[in-house]
């Protein structure tokens, strides 16, 4: 009997590692048997660090054909739950008929060699013609994540990169990156998926625009010096002067600059901008410093981020997947910034996971709170902050949904 694409997820908070893994498998194996698992994603808190090798061995024994990928994290997401501040494991098992799963680990030296040769296929196991989807988890301390993601944009044009930076550590060598039987302490672990698979990437940057778009008419390094022929600080004051009191308060707490991915569009809407943090103002010139490299001629617009804006943006981005006419999603991975959750919505538990469940229904889901999230905006991949980056899986034959 032919297999169908199937996902099974479980999240557990049992303190002892062995019983916790038992509980995970008790929920996934009735749906996906040992010989039918092709990919396992596992996220777990550092509470289980001492038993990590045993956990990996048990899962590899239970699903001998599956590629295993995962990492340790500060907090864990599973189905409609976000588990913060206590031990937890979350696992998503996928049966993927007609899909090739290409696992890889990239260390700093391997990355440097691939950059020098511009030959990425031996490292990643795929070429651009195969239309791969990349899932990855990285350690930020000994690996240049930003450059790697940019390199993938050039090496595999149009290939989405989804995942995040492991968040269980505050120093090098403390995060654990899992790939099959190996536990790595640096670099990036990933899989490239090709074949009968469609992945819709939903990237909610949690911001909403204020004011109107401006053309950058003068810039230098990280500084925007002029907008529309006027000192950038003066343009910002014009925008703030027109805000409602609640918007002005949000701007005082969290103000951002969105750079249009495609400045040739006649009109701009939510999702057309890559969000950069506004770092400060150069007092003697009125130039604005941003966490990016503004280019003369590019289009930018100021944005604010607060709990209301972040909730609104996530719901907007997921709207195409809600309702009886929306194609059925088989499984999901949710990579949410560790600045979201209870830090952004105090007193509102399970926000992002709950909104995802509200829109998709009972779709098997796993994920973790990241120290940086990977996802495409406008067809290019970036490393984000304060973002919810979501991978929605379906067979290739199922109609795609435009995400705006």
pLDDT at 237 over 70: yes
pLDDT at 127 over 90: no
Q: In which domain, by residue range, is 280 found? A: 208-304
The answer for 229, left when phi > 0, alpha when psi is -120 to 50, beta otherwise, is left
Phi, psi at residue 370, to the nearest 5°? Answer: -105, 160
Using the CB atoms, write b or e for 106-126: b if 16+ within 10 Å.
beeeebeebbeeeebeebbbb
| Alpha-carbon span 373 to 262, nearest angstrom | 22
Q: Are residues 198 and 243 in the same domain?
A: no
Phi, psi at residue 46, to the nearest 5°? Answer: -70, -5
Domain boundary among 243, 269, 304: 304
| Alpha-carbon span 10 to 60, nearest angstrom | 17
Confidence of residue 402 (pLDDT cuts 50, 70, 90): low
Token pair 């040769």 in the structure block, residue: 117
Q: Are residues 57 and 173 in the same domain?
A: yes
Residue 237: helix, strand or coil by DSSP?
Answer: helix
| Alpha-carbon span 224 to 297, nearest angstrom | 11
Q: Are residues 269 and 124 in the same domain?
A: no
- Residue 377 placed within a domain: yes
pLDDT at 2 over 90: no
Q: Are residues 199 and 214 in the same domain?
A: no
Q: Are residues 364 and 322 in the same domain?
A: yes
pLDDT at 266 over 80: no
Q: Are residues 212 and 293 in the same domain?
A: yes
Q: To which H or E segment does residue 304 belong?
A: strand 299-304
pLDDT of residue 253: 84
Confidence of residue 400 (pLDDT cuts 50, 70, 90): low
Lowest mean pLDDT, pick from 265-269, 289-293, 312-316, 377-381: 265-269
Q: Are residues 360 and 285 in the same domain?
A: no
Whether 230 and 140 have beta carbons less than 8 Å apart is answered as no
- Residue 199 placed within a domain: yes
- Residue 66 placed within a domain: yes
Q: Are residues 117 and 144 in the same domain?
A: yes
Q: Please write the tens of the pLDDT for every residue from 138-162.
A: 999 999 999 999 999 999 999 999 9
| Alpha-carbon span 250 to 36, nearest angstrom | 49
Q: Please write the tens of the pLDDT for every residue from 294-328.
A: 999 999 999 998 888 899 999 999 999 988 878 78
Token pair 């990919």 in the structure block, residue: 39
- Mean pLDDT, rounded, for 88-104: 97
Whether 390 and 356 have beta carbons less than 8 Å apart is answered as yes
- Residue 93 placed within a domain: yes
- Residue 400 placed within a domain: no
Q: Are residues 79 and 198 in the same domain?
A: yes
Confidence of residue 355 (pLDDT cuts 50, 70, 90): very high
- Please enumerate in sequence order all residues whose Cβ is within 8 A of that of 247, keeping only pairs 6 or more positions apart, or say none: 210, 304
Q: Are residues 104 and 179 in the same domain?
A: yes
- Residue 401 placed within a domain: no
pLDDT of residue 270: 76
pLDDT of residue 241: 94
Domain boundary among 246, 274, 304: 304
| Alpha-carbon span 20 to 302, nearest angstrom | 46
- Residue 403 placed within a domain: no
| Alpha-carbon span 356 to 372, nearest angstrom | 20
Q: Based on the structure, what is the number of domains in the chain? A: 2
Q: Are residues 156 and 17 in the same domain?
A: yes
Q: Are residues 236 and 294 in the same domain?
A: yes
The two structure tokens encoding residue 275: 């969000």
Domain boundary among 260, 287, 304: 304
Residues in a beta bridge with 5: none
pLDDT of residue 250: 86
- Residue 404 placed within a domain: no
- Mean pLDDT, rounded, for 126-148: 92
């Amino acid at each position: 009997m032919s297999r169908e694409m199937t996902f099974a997820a479980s999240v557990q908070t049992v303190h002892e590692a062995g019983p916790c893994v038992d509980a995970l498998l008790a929920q996934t194996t009735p749906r996906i048997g040992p010989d039918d698992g092709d990919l396992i994603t596992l996220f777990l808190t550092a509470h289980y660090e001492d038993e990590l090798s045993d956990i990996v061995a048990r899962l590899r024994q239970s699903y001998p054909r599956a590629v295993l990928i995962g990492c340790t994290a500060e907090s864990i997401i599973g189905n409609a739950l976000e588990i913060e501040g206590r031990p937890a494991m979350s696992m998503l098992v996928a049966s993927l008929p007609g899909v090739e799963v290409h696992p890889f680990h990239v260390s700093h030296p391997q990355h440097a060699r691939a950059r020098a040769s511009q030959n990425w296929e031996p490292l990643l196991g795929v070429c651009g013609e195969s239309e791969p989807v990349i899932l990855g988890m990285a350690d930020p301390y000994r690996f240049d994540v930003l450059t790697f993601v940019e390199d993938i944009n050039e090496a595999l044009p149009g290939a989405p990169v989804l995942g995040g930076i492991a968040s269980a550590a505050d120093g090098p060598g403390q995060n654990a990156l899992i790939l099959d039987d190996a536990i790595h302490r640096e670099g990036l672990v990933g899989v490239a998926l090709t074949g009968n698979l469609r992945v819709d990437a939903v990237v909610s940057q949690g911001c909403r625009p204020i004011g109107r778009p401006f053309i950058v008419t003068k810039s230098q390094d990280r500084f925007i010096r002029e907008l529309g022929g006027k000192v950038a600080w003066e343009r910002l004051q014009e925008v703030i002067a027109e805000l409602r009191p609640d918007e002005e308060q949000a701007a005082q707490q969290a103000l951002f600059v969105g750079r249009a991915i495609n400045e040739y569009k006649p009109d701009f809407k939510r999702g057309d901008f890559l969000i950069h943090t506004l770092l400060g103002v150069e007092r003697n010139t009125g130039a604005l410093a941003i966490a990016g490299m503004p280019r003369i001629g590019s289009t930018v617009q100021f944005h604010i981020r607060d709990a209301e804006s972040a909730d609104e943006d996530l719901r907007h981005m997921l709207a195409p997947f809600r309702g009886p006419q929306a194609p059925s999603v088989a499984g999901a991975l949710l990579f949410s910034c560790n600045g979201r959750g209870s830090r952004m919505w105090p007193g509102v538990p399970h926000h992002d996971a709950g909104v995802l469940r509200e829109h998709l229904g009972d779709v098997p889901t796993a994920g973790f709170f990241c120290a940086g999230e990977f996802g495409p905006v406008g067809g290019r991949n970036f490393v984000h902050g304060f973002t919810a980056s979501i991978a929605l899986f379906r067979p290739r034959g199922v109609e795609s949904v435009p995400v705006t």
